Amino acid sequence: MIHISDRISTINESQTLGMAKLGRELKNKGIDIINLSLGEPDFQTPEHIKEAAIQAIRDNFTYYPPVAGYQDLREAISNKFKRDNHLDYSPNNIMVSTGAKHSIMNVILSLVNPGDEVIIPIPYWVSYSTMVTFAEGQPVYVKSTIDTDFKPSIEAIEKAITPKTKLLIYSSPCNPSGSVMNEKELKDLADLIERHPQIYVISDEIYEHINFIGKHLSIASYSNIFERVITVNGVAKGFSMTGWRIGYIGAALPIIQACEKLQGQFTSGACSISQKAAVAALNGPLQPTIDMKEAFLRRRNLIVDGFKKMPNIRCNNPEGAFYIFPDISAYFGTSYENYQIKDAQDFAMILLEKANVATVTGDAFGSPENLRISYAASDTDIQKAIDRIGNAISLLK
């Protein structure tokens, strides 16, 4: 008998990856599945980035890179922070990892001690909670709903703070809700953090470039808490480079040094070829990214309009990322033939089985009354999915 470690039993399979896997299995059986479960741009990596990777292979960048990242990439990230976010992170204050997920895990393991509390606003990206638990920290959730545009009040966050609070982690634009924190909300949060000097902030800004309301704002731009903010970003979403696996942080030097020590014992440096491609992404033209954002905006309008016409479904108007997070709780207690809809998981399964559309239950994000739907798909597939979902829910009684 094989005995797996206890720590693995504390980890749940990512529901986003699990639903995508199930959708692929059905598609491989010849079923016409429209997969709206994965958070992955459906665009190709821009040509100038791919050419930089090919050139890196020709130039023999095929040896172990520095653990913290190549110097030219860290300089490119430093310049990007100054240019786009008005953040003064020197190359020494930057750490490159194998995706933003890896970056976040490095930071949590470097900061959180057993018993430390970590505030996580709901809804949250699926892995935040698991990462904190793995580090033997204690997640402390702060609820929000569609009625507040999925943004908790400052009062609710402050109420959650205790002497054990070590960290707050959030994303803006948010996965899964698409909500974007505005200037007043960020300023109020920065002032709150200033009043509690034991608290660090992980600001997950991976969706920075997919923002429909104007210029992206970073909480680290408030100098009163700059030293206690870890700014997380990467090239996956804004440059359609999910498979290249490059993420990075900007942070105070002791945090960088801790993450480098940790990463040196686990993965060492991120892929050398991907790092050279990331240099081209950060230093190169943004037009492909702008074009992608415009396509996402068009798709957002299409899917939001479609869902707002569906009976008993509440849907806000996301200001960034490429998800909608509708409240489908009005259908709890309904049924189709012998199939009972008790919760969002049942609702997601009825959509998969009867509409052939893969989505993700809101439970994975701390919001059991919701469903996350990615519109990183073609306009045609989005319209087909809207029609199929509408037909499926009309069968629920």
Nearest in space to 132 (alpha carbons), one of 218, 225, 27, 202: 202
Does 92 have pLDDT greater than 90?
Answer: yes
Q: Are residues 255 and 122 in the same domain?
A: yes
Of 283, 310, 328, the residue at which a domain comes to its end is 283
Q: Are residues 139 and 259 in the same domain?
A: yes
Q: Are residues 150 and 13 in the same domain?
A: no
pLDDT of residue 17: 66
Question: In degrees rounded to 5, what are phi and psi of residue 51?
Answer: -65, -35
Of 251, 283, 315, the residue at which a domain comes to its end is 283
Check: pTM over 0.85? Answer yes or no: yes
Do the bridges between strand 247-250 and strand 94-97 make them parallel or antiparallel, or are there none, so unpaired?
Answer: antiparallel
Query: pLDDT tens, 73-85?
Result: 999 999 999 999 9
HSE value, Cβ hemisphere, 13 Å, CA-based, for 166 = 18
Does 397 have pLDDT greater than 90?
Answer: no
Is residue 49 assigned to a domain? no
Over residues 318-328, the mean pLDDT reads 98
pLDDT interval class at 114 (50, 70, 90): very high
State both tokens at 33: 């599945």
Question: In degrees rounded to 5, what are phi and psi of residue 27?
Answer: -65, -40
Is residue 381 assigned to a domain? yes
Question: Can you state the angle between helices 253-266 and 100-111, rounded to 10 degrees?
Answer: 110
Q: Are residues 269 and 379 in the same domain?
A: no
CB of 181 closer than 8 Å to CB of 220? no
Q: Are residues 240 and 321 in the same domain?
A: no
List, in sequence order, every residue forming a beta bridge with 170; answer none if it has no partner.
203
Does 23 have pLDDT greater than 90?
Answer: no
Nearest in space to 216 (alpha carbons), one of 204, 205, 200: 205
CATH number at 342 reads 3.90.1150.10
Q: Are residues 218 and 120 in the same domain?
A: yes
Is residue 194 assigned to a domain? yes
Over residues 7-35, the mean pLDDT reads 76
Does 9 have pLDDT greater than 90?
Answer: no
Range of the domain at 250: 63-283
Is residue 242 assigned to a domain? yes
How many structural domains is the chain composed of?
A: 2
> Measured between alpha carbons, how far is 153 from 140 in angstroms, rounded to an integer?
15
Of 259, 283, 307, the residue at which a domain comes to its end is 283
Over residues 15-20, the mean pLDDT reads 66
Q: Are residues 260 and 360 in the same domain?
A: no
